[in-house]
Amino acid sequence: MADINRARALRKRRTWAEKLMWRWLRDRQFSGYKFRREHPLGKCFLDFFCEEARLSIELDGFQEGHPARQAYDAEREKFLVSRGVKTLRFWNRQLRSERQFVRDYIFNALQQRAPHPLPDYTRAGVVVGQRGWPSARANPGGGEPGQGVAGRVFERFDHIRTAWIRLSYARPHPSPLPQERRPSRPLRAARPVWMAATGSIFMQNLFPIIHEDPDLLVINKPAGLVCHPTKTDEYSSLIGRVRLYLGHELRPHLINRLDRETSGVVIVGKNSETAGKLGKIWETRAVCKEYLAIVHGQVLEPHGIIDAPLGKDEQSQVAIKDCVRDDGASARTEFWVESRFFRPRSSTRDPQPFSLLLVIPHTGRKHQIRIHLAHIGHPVVGDKLYGDDEDLYLAFVENRLTDEQRARLILPNHALHARELRLPWRGQQRIFAAEPEPWFTAFACGTLDSDSAQ
């Protein structure tokens, strides 16, 4: 007991982040869950602990500082996992810069580990705003989607998928004055509360689904979304969104991966057995992949094969960049010209030439298609790394892209789309295909010019 009191005395002076977190946890949005501060568990003291959900919230200090501290944190993490405790870790700065995300993440984890029964709000006029917030113009007695309202909470809950969205009552102004004498200020919604509702609104925005069965999930990955997580936000990566969609009781595996800005077909194995079988199929090179690419310039040959080995670009400032080099790994890419077209730009008199290519990579090297097309003088439109200036990529990752640089890129993402995957699966040839996103099709078909693409 003396050790506990001494530890608590050492932590008497709270940081601003701990005070803010404790205020959030006592707030009524988490009123169904009871948290304790500095809860002792074995030899550990947990900053904030919910016994019901076996959930611990820690601030700062993870993977930071002296290596001995990192080793201690890793050992502590193993101990908590052995006791059935899930730990959520946040940087202090996240409580200011990503306040809403932190709240979302905590509530999502609580409901997944200890779901609470929810009252029926469908008769109370609950509405949902387009960005999750309720619309102040909503009418509790009725109303149609639009004008800031995504739709009324569904009369019948879908029990298959659950997503977390913010709900609130939209109440009329309480003034007893006649309508013509009431103040002109806008209606105000009550303070939002957190509830779980059906995933129809939220889940539709996760990703387009091409095919789903008990073992496979085939997705049309949007451009600009990384495959593997780089942040704590589950929504920021494809595998994170897959886990939200399937639930954390499953262990999904990405069978194939695409670059951040490449859109198209991605196959997910819902379990380790399926992932292992698909991995063996990939190793035998029995999978055929088709891509669509929009490149600079007009490719004269209707068909061509690029056979050039690839290796690390030692002259580049970008660590991940590769290039064509004689001592590299063998790589082979085949292409066909689908169409050639021009795009006018208001900044120049002469229209710019472009080509739409159908590309089949016969090997699976990193950035293979982008490097090979740039090697023959036709880089992919919008490619920041393998275009004419790699500083565009450095400016992008450092968040300092100027308007002039964006205009040079023409498109916000590089124009490469994985259109089709063909593979043998369980005794038959399976084909999974996905059309490119509207901005890609519009640019290739002539309904989007180079300036409006910005």
Q: Where is 204: in which H helix or E strand? A: none
Residues 102 and 107: their CA atoms lie apart, in Å, by: 9
332 strand-pairing partners:
307
Residues 12 and 19: their CA atoms lie apart, in Å, by: 11
Q: How far is CA 14 from the centre of its chain?
A: 34
CB–CB of 88/57 below 8 Å? yes
Q: Where is 153: in which H helix or E strand? A: none
Between the CA of residue 410 and those of 259, 379, 383, 437, 440, what are the distances in Å?
Answer: 19, 13, 10, 16, 12
CB–CB of 339/352 below 8 Å? no
Nearest Cα to 402, choosing from 389, 419, 415?
389
Nearest Cα to 424, choosing from 217, 252, 253, 280?
280
**259 classed as catalytic:** yes
CB–CB of 262/414 below 8 Å? yes
Active-site position among 259, 313, 322, 383: 259
Q: Which tokens go with 311?
A: 């290796």
Residues 125 and 333: their CA atoms lie apart, in Å, by: 58
342 strand-pairing partners:
353
Residues 104 and 164: their CA atoms lie apart, in Å, by: 8
Q: What is the CA radius of gyration of the chain?
A: 27
CB–CB of 382/259 below 8 Å? no
CB–CB of 229/240 below 8 Å? yes
Residues 322 and 346: their CA atoms lie apart, in Å, by: 34
Active-site residue set: 259
